[in-house]
Each structure stands twice: as structure tokens, then as C-alpha cells.
Chain A
Amino acid sequence: MTVTTTAPQAALGVLPRSDGSAKYSHAGYTLTASVNGPIEAQRRDEHAYEAHVEVIVRPAAGVGGTRERHLESLLQSSLAQLILVKNFPRSLIQIVLQVEDSPENDYVNTKLVQASLNLAIMPALVQTAILALLSAGVPMRATATATAVAVVHQDGAKKTVVDPSPREVETARSVHVLAFTSHNGLLLAESEGDFTVGEWDDVYETAKGICCRAGPAKEGTAMVLDDEEASATDMRQFLRSTMESKVAADLHWK
């Protein structure tokens, strides 16, 4: 099966019984997230001054193992930065991310238990969690957008691939995941593989172009975008338009 690079899609409030939920699909990944909070925390998770952010990543097949725990810890530390945890002392904000569909590599038979880190799923996890948090109305300092970039060496020339397929991840020299807040701050930077500082700078610029574009390009503005950048998805605009359509639908009666 080939993964077609299409525009990201999202739906908010898909689960009837959770406080907030979102379904997100992009680059072959489909995830559903639910957010419950602030709810009563268990004694062991209770902090006297702030809310405990609990992230649970559930794989589509098999039970979660070390690599899910690692993804959870990365997400937990990033999201706890964004959520205004000091507003809800002694409570819990629970984020559950269920992977529904992930692209498969046709050239290898997938094993159920994999020890290696799956970085390529990280942007989808971040985006879904953010959308679900927005849907639940959890107060946040800023929103965030994320993307995955791979550096592929092909015929002596190197090129950066945005949203790499599993096949590209396998052959790539290095894979990077970057997340930016809505204030253009770097929230998360995870890299895997061999790369130089120059390469990382390229990756950073590419990712920033996708995650932090300053609003839609209007006619007459002096903004110059080269062709490659203009064709790539604008994650911040996507997040904004998703929320706008949700709010418009919710306030339809007004």
C-alpha cells in the first residue's frame, strides 16, 4: 500500500463520554485521543501545587512496551510545559492516545514487539494531543505544531524529506522530530541517526517553515515563499482552521 501525502485531517469531539477528544490523520497515521481533566488524581500521582499530566499511548496491535513508555515520557514533558498545571493543584489531566492506523513498510514483515524507537509517529501524537486538549478546553500557555523531517542521502546528494514514509525512515541517514509552540519557541527536538550541525540547521529551517508560518499569505504582502515551501502543509494554519470550524459549528445557534 502506498502512502499518499495528503493534507492532514481532523475531527474534534468524536467521543461522547470524554471531556475532549480528537481524531487526526496525516501521512498514513490515524489516531484518536481523549482528554479527561481536571479529574481526581490518585494518591501516588497527586502533586500539592500542580496538576499531574498523564499520557497513555496505546499501540494498534500488541500491548504497549518500552517504546510506548518512551514516547509517553517525551510527550508528558512537552505537554506539561504547555498546560497551565499550576491552575489545578492536586488533580489529574489524563490524555489517552490510541493509534488506529500507521503506515506499513511493504519491504519488511512487521514484528509485534519492536524495541526501536518510532520517531515518525511523534508529530501525529503531538498534534492529536493538542487538538484533544483544545477540545477539552484545558487552559494552555500556547498551542504546538510538530513535524518529522528525514535526511536522506541519495546518489551522493542529500535531501530533506518531510513526513517520511516507513521506507524512507529505514533508509534515512537521520530522522528528526521538531515541535514548535505558537510563540515560535522550540518545544521538542528529537533526533536519531548520524548528522552534522549544518544538516540539523537545514532540518530546523524546514520544520520551522512548516510549523511556524506567519498566517496565510495574502495578496500584496511582501512575503516571498519559494515553491517548495508554498506546497508544504502549514500546520499552524491547519490547527487554526480546525478550531475555527469547530467553534463555528458549536455556535451555529447564535
Chain B
Amino acid sequence: MAIVFQKPKALKDTPMHYCPGCTHGIAHRLVAEALDELDIEGKTIGIASVGCSYNSYDYFGCDMIQAPHGRAPAVATGVKRSKPDNVVFTYQGDGDLAAIGTAEIVHAAARGEKITVIFINNTIYGMTSGQMAPTTLLNQYSTTTPYGRIADQHGFPINVCEMLATLEGPAYIERVSLHDVKHIKKAKQAVKKAFKVQIANKGFSLVELLSTCPTNWGLSPVESLKRVEDDMIPHYPLGVFKGKDLEV
């Protein structure tokens, strides 16, 4: 018998600190599988952001830089502009990318920076224990919307893929989900394609992965996956928003 599934080489052995059932672990694995299968770990530089995944450099085996909150796309721009032959990716949560880092992601995309952005959307701030994020859904409870998110007070959730797809810069934008095996496999293809877009020098690529936060949602890991399907996908439809017919 041969091994058909195991931890990808580009993921280090360090056990991850993420809460039980948190899909960060799956997202990390998909990125690492892409690095393995495209054989690019050696020339990849990853940019960790600030949030639950602040120390993703403890898990990814490639060279890594830890960026200030929201600034990973700018750090990645500095790296890529200095080392255009390297593969550069950022790994960011929804607070990092869509709140404090909105200007950085919009302009990196608008410039068509040849970087790959792995965007984890779990509709909440995880690390700081459950505050509202720009992607928090209306009526969703959080520690800063204790009575539910109310549009009149807290504004509306931001659909990042749709927003960035209005820009000319990006070459490939897709939203995927991690809520079941079938979707995880599709997510893996999207992540891999995003890296291929970069390697083929086609421009900016971003994959948004709908993810869970059992701890701060107050749900079990299994219930959390269900919430992604029932509550999140209706507001954050899956699909390719830019670069449908892009051949890489």
C-alpha cells in the first residue's frame, strides 16, 4: 500500500494552536499542498498578518515575514518588487484584510501586484475574542454587536471578492468554502490556480476561503461548518469573480 494522504512537506511538524475544528488548519494545508505540488516552497516568501494566523510562520516551512495588522499586501509588494522571481503570498483574516488593511488590499489589487492573497473570511475577529469584523453578517452576534449587527449602527458586511473584481488590476479572484469535503477539494484547486497565476506572471490573485470560528461563534465545529453553508454562502456566493477563462 502507498500513502495517498499525509501532511504536506511545506507544513512544518509544529502542532497548530488553532482551536479544535477551526478551518485555519485546513486552509494552511491547502496552501502547503500547493507549494508542494508546484514545487515552489524553496522560492516562496509568505507574509503572515495579525490575527489568529499571526504566527503562520511557525507552520509554513517557506521563508516568512510577519507584517503589521492590515499591511501584508504592502509588505508583499515590497518583497515582490525587490525579488520578482520569487513567489510571494499573504495569509490574512477578514479583520486584517477588510478592515484596517482595506487600503493596502485595494491598491495592491489595483496595481495588479503579482502576489497571491489567501483571505480567510470567518465573519469575526478570532484572536481578540469575537469582535465584529467587516464581514460580520447582519443580525450576527459578536462581542461588539452584543444585540446583533444592526445596519443602522454597524453598517453592512463587505463582499471583498465582488469589490476587488471591479478593479482592472486583479487577474484571478475566486471565493471558495471549507465547509465540506467536496468544497475543500474545490478550494484546493482555487488556491493552486492562484499560485499558478502568479508563477505565470499573469498578475494579482486572491482566493477568499469561507471559514469557521467555533469558539467565537459559540458553536461546535460541526455546527460551525453548517453555519458556513446555511448563513454565509447566501451572502458570500461562491465562484470565480475575475479570470474565469484564464488559462494557467
Determine if chain A interacts with chain B: no
